[in-house]
Structure 1
Amino acid sequence: MSASNRSPENEPPEHRSTEHGSTERGPSGRGSRGQTADPTPWDPRLRALTLGLVSTVTLIAFEAMAVITVLPKVAEDLSGLSLYGWTTSGFFLGLLVGVVIAGAESDRVGAARPLTAGLVLFGAGLAVAALAPNMWILVAGRVLQGLGGGAVPAILYATIGRAYPEPQRPRMFAVTATAWVLPGLIGPATAALVAEHAGWRWVFGGLIPLVAVAGTGTVRALRGVPAPTTVDVAPTAPRLIAALRVSVGAGLVLAGLTGRSAPGLALIAVGSVLAYQPLRALLPAGTLRARPGIAAAVAARGLLTFAFFGTDTFVPLAITAARHEPTIVASAAVTAVTVTWTTGSWTQARLAGRVPGRVLIGTGLLAVSAGTAGFALVLVDAVALAVPIACWAVTGLGMGLAYSPIASLVLAETPPERHGTASSAVTLSDNLGTALGTGLGGAAVAASEAANGTPDLGLATVFGLTVIVAALGALVVRRAPSRIFPAADSTPAAS
């Protein structure tokens, strides 16, 4: 649905725009009819909301950085390398369900209630993982974390779409990307040290108090963001059933791939049939065929996350298993990609008013492809470890360029009363891509370990596949809308 179909009378005055989507303004930064300039994320009117969203993203970032760093140690301790990929796939399959529920509910009742429920489930999942006696229970805890964590991206995108003027959205996405910097700088090394000296269980358990601290301020701020006055979403129950079918179907496909047997082929067939129709219903029409328009943008998001997270999950394993380096060395790669992702995100925010969104996305996807190809050199002992880590940093830069503009593009082409549902579609594609990428990678690594006693061949397969998928995404996004986002004013991003 194009931006021209929006109903301006349903938007707050500061969000109303011309038919091209930009607020009319004169040289001074005020509208040509005397309106004040769009509030920046740090304007007093939005500051509490911005701080709340940033604190919640920071919490999720600490969890992500910590868990991916210690996963090799967890798998070793619980003798669960065969389920290594499932620790990430399970999280994102749970996230897939959580984001659909939270997106629909945010359109129906506002953002505060679904975020509260999500954070409670997220904390419960951390507790289960911290106490897990085996790898299966750990995976179950990760699924529960994902179910609750799904509220965060759905609420984030919907709130940015409703509360922030369109010219400020790229900047707000860059602000939330910056929330990953501190966790990226200290999270991996801290997690490695905690796992080494106190045990990996404290990595999960130590995050539980942060859930309450970060969530309280965010929920309070979200209560000031009204729910849409016009509700145009399907009832939640059918969407929940559809999301469950997609999640279970994807899980069956991954289980079949992991089994590598005749019964496994049956699981793949059953899972595909179970997920296909509801997936079509939950995504914009034509997404699975990359139809020109926002469908192509949503499809590109899934290919992007498949390529990046399908590699990212196995970066620490490649460094610790293939190069036999300690976890603290692997944490350097995790930190590097986080910093460059943030750099790329701020770069796209600065270019958003001059470069079409699909150009930024395509450039980012090509960088992900090239950077992943370079990181594959980690499997060559003769290459200094600094080289693949530097290449992995290039991949982070590509993610920063491509990740947020997809959400901005979809929000700009969707009427405000459907921002929650549109956010769910973007995040659904995001999570499904991640789950399939990490699941296929996990199957390849498990097969390599079983056949050769090392994961090296499986890791090479993972890296080759994700390079191809990222390049495919760069082709698909050429079918997305060619839209240049309205330029933000020159007000500093933070005060």
Structure 2
Amino acid sequence: MTDPAPARGIRSGILAPAYLSTTVAIFALIAFNAFETMAVTTVMPTISRELDGASLYALAFAAPLASGVVGMVAAGTWSDRHGPAGSLVTSLLLFTAGVLAAGLAPSMGVLVAGRVVQGLGTGALIVSLYVVVGAVFPPRLQPSVFATFAAAWVLPSLFGPPVAAFVAAAFGWRWVFLGIVGLVALAALMLAPVVPSLRRTPDHDRATPRSRLGWASLAAVAVLAVELLGSRDAAVLAAAAGLVVVLAVRPLVPGGTLRVARGLPSVIGTRGAMSAAFFCGQAYIVLVLQERWGLSAAQAGLALTVVGVVWATMSQVQARVVDQVSHERAMLIGSSTLLAAALSLWLVVRLDGSALLAGAAFVLAGAGMGFGFTRTGPAMLGHSTESDRGFNSSALSIADSLGAALALACCGIGFAWAESTGRDPFLAVFGIAVVAALAAVVAASRTPTGQAVTERVTR
């Protein structure tokens, strides 16, 4: 689609008439997903205690990320052949079913199963939205669209944690899940006018091998096996499952991704490593603030609130300096900031610092993610054509989810090992975040190619 007008104020941007309905629908979809993430992260320690599910705590976070990989591959294939309309609708149905199952779960095991179904929907949704951005918006506007992804987290970040804490205290944690169903319905209504324009005639020349779906399923199962086996002292089997993850992910990403080849493979690698580092912190920040410093769920949830606002703010900053700071440079700055944050959080826990310092370190991680993580989307699209946009979008999201899921599985193993040996389990968890952040810096340093191929903004 051609750009309808040169940049001149907000009306010639993503809120111009040609893009308004799509922008609003994308914003709504990301916002309800953000609210679910913030709300569930806030109440998960409570859920774990009430369902006696401490052993499955990490798995409750890793499960939807792992199963999301299957949804991502399916959505990428569907979108390349038919357009993203069908995968968008299906993703909402799966997400709703998973949320209902989790909200009605009688045990932690059933809740994890519901989270698996929910993850299928979330994975399909994210890839579908990336394809929509590439198909509808010109390169000049894509950084701004991806900035709205982060902006959609602002209100959920501000109100999600305190609302979740209030609902859990007043009505029970189940209503945190069940209440999200209403948000899904609202987003679906806003999406309805956009869907017909996203359909296209089936293109059988773009068929993707069915084996990719099998590899995705294998990778998802193997990630979950890593945590389940590792936390039960089956180290050899857990290592074998980790090897299966590596083998299964190779057909799902561009060639050279696992060896961090320059260009697109390193963009994908940067995304995965940054996600791994950040979500180790997000999954455990509320728990450490409660267990180590005695904060309430509402007080600990403030860390999630502030980090969401900072992430969104830095995403807006990177969109404004897109002419001055290349995608490659932005990713390196963001990953370096994330590494500084992970090291700071580890040191605060190691030196028994204050809850305020721990929260501040996590907020710094949000700044790095907002500035660098947000640029991985436009960088990926700059390497893509219409024929492989779905595959590359899927690969980027797969790296995001599998990176976080595998890191969380390792966190569960590290946490259980540290507790059983009398060590500090939070040092183990945040140590894994440091390693992942260091990997992100290495990958980001390799994103430039000999010739600048990343899409630049055209005036």
- TM-score when normalising by structure 2: 0.94
Give the match for residue 469 of structure 1.
436
Give the match for residue 417 of structure 2.
447
1:319-468 → structure 2 map (5 Å cutoff): 319-379=289-349, 383-452=353-422, 457-468=424-435
Paired with 1:400 and 1:207, the residues of 2 have a C-alpha distance of: 25
Q: Cα deviations across residues 206-229 of structure 1 (Å, max 9, x unaligned)? A: 111211111232243132135488
Q: Does 1:190 align with 2:163?
A: yes
Gap change, CA 1:167 and 1:29, over 3 Å in 2: closer
Gap change, CA 1:228 and 1:322, over 3 Å in 2: farther
What is the number of equivalent residue pairs in this alignment?
455
Q: Does 1:240 align with 2:213?
A: yes
Gap change, CA 1:206 and 1:488, over 3 Å in 2: farther
Aligned counterpart for 1:298 among listed residues 268, 272, 276: 268
Contact residue 106 and residue 227 of structure 1 kept, 8 A: no
Paired with 2:200 and 2:162, the residues of 1 have a C-alpha distance of: 40
Give the match for residue 73 of structure 1.
46
Give the match for residue 266 of structure 1.
237
Deviates more, 1:238-247 or 1:308-317: 238-247
The alignment partner of 1:207 has SS state of helix
Contact residue 14 and residue 38 of structure 1 kept, 8 A: no
Paired with 2:303 and 2:202, the residues of 1 have a C-alpha distance of: 46
Paired with 2:238 and 2:289, the residues of 1 have a C-alpha distance of: 33
Contact residue 270 and residue 444 of structure 2 kept, 8 A: yes
Deviates more, 1:118-127 or 1:245-254: 245-254
Give the match for residue 147 of structure 1.
120
Aligned-partner residue type, residue 148 of structure 2 = V
Paired with 1:488 and 1:395, the residues of 2 have a C-alpha distance of: 31
Gap change, CA 1:312 and 1:29, over 3 Å in 2: closer
Paired with 2:344 and 2:201, the residues of 1 have a C-alpha distance of: 46
Aligned-partner residue type, residue 222 of structure 1 = V
Q: Cα deviations across residues 1-54 of structure 1 (Å, max 9, x unaligned)? A: xxxxxxxxxxx3449xxxxxxxxx9xx759xxxxxx995210101100110110
Aligned-partner residue type, residue 48 of structure 2 = A
The alignment partner of 2:210 has SS state of helix
**Structure 1 unmatched ranges of 5 or more:** 1-11, 16-24, 31-36, 490-495
Contact residue 98 and residue 151 of structure 1 kept, 8 A: yes
Contact residue 82 and residue 203 of structure 2 kept, 8 A: no
Paired with 1:71 and 1:118, the residues of 2 have a C-alpha distance of: 24
Deviates more, 1:249-258 or 1:350-359: 249-258
Aligned counterpart for 1:126 among listed residues 99, 111, 121: 99
Paired with 2:247 and 2:204, the residues of 1 have a C-alpha distance of: 24
Aligned-partner residue type, residue 321 of structure 1 = E
Q: Does 1:90 align with 2:63?
A: yes
Aligned-partner residue type, residue 126 of structure 2 = P
Shift of residue 107 of structure 1? 1.3
Give the match for residue 110 of structure 1.
83
Aligned-partner residue type, residue 440 of structure 1 = C
Paired with 2:266 and 2:314, the residues of 1 have a C-alpha distance of: 22
Give the match for residue 21 of structure 1.
none
Paired with 1:307 and 1:217, the residues of 2 have a C-alpha distance of: 33
Q: Does 1:213 align with 2:186?
A: yes
Contact residue 38 and residue 165 of structure 1 kept, 8 A: no
Give the match for residue 20 of structure 1.
none
Structure 1 outlier segments of 4+, above 4 Å: 228-232, 482-485
Give the match for residue 478 of structure 1.
445
Aligned-partner residue type, residue 64 of structure 2 = F
Shift of residue 329 of structure 1? 1.0
Contact residue 319 and residue 378 of structure 1 kept, 8 A: no
Give the match for residue 253 of structure 2.
283
Shift of residue 384 of structure 1? 2.9
The alignment partner of 2:198 has SS state of coil
**Structure 2 unmatched ranges of 5 or more:** none
Aligned-partner residue type, residue 268 of structure 1 = A
Paired with 1:194 and 1:127, the residues of 2 have a C-alpha distance of: 16
Give the match for residue 52 of structure 1.
25
Structure 1 vs Structure 2: percent identity of aligned residues? 32
Contact residue 115 and residue 219 of structure 1 kept, 8 A: no
Aligned-partner residue type, residue 415 of structure 1 = T
Shift of residue 236 of structure 1? 5.9
Paired with 2:403 and 2:367, the residues of 1 have a C-alpha distance of: 19
The alignment partner of 2:456 has SS state of coil
Paired with 1:293 and 1:379, the residues of 2 have a C-alpha distance of: 36
Give the match for residue 3 of structure 1.
none
Paired with 1:231 and 1:216, the residues of 2 have a C-alpha distance of: 31
Instruction: Determine which structure has more spread, i.e. the larger CA radius of gyration.
Output: 1
Paired with 2:361 and 2:280, the residues of 1 have a C-alpha distance of: 16
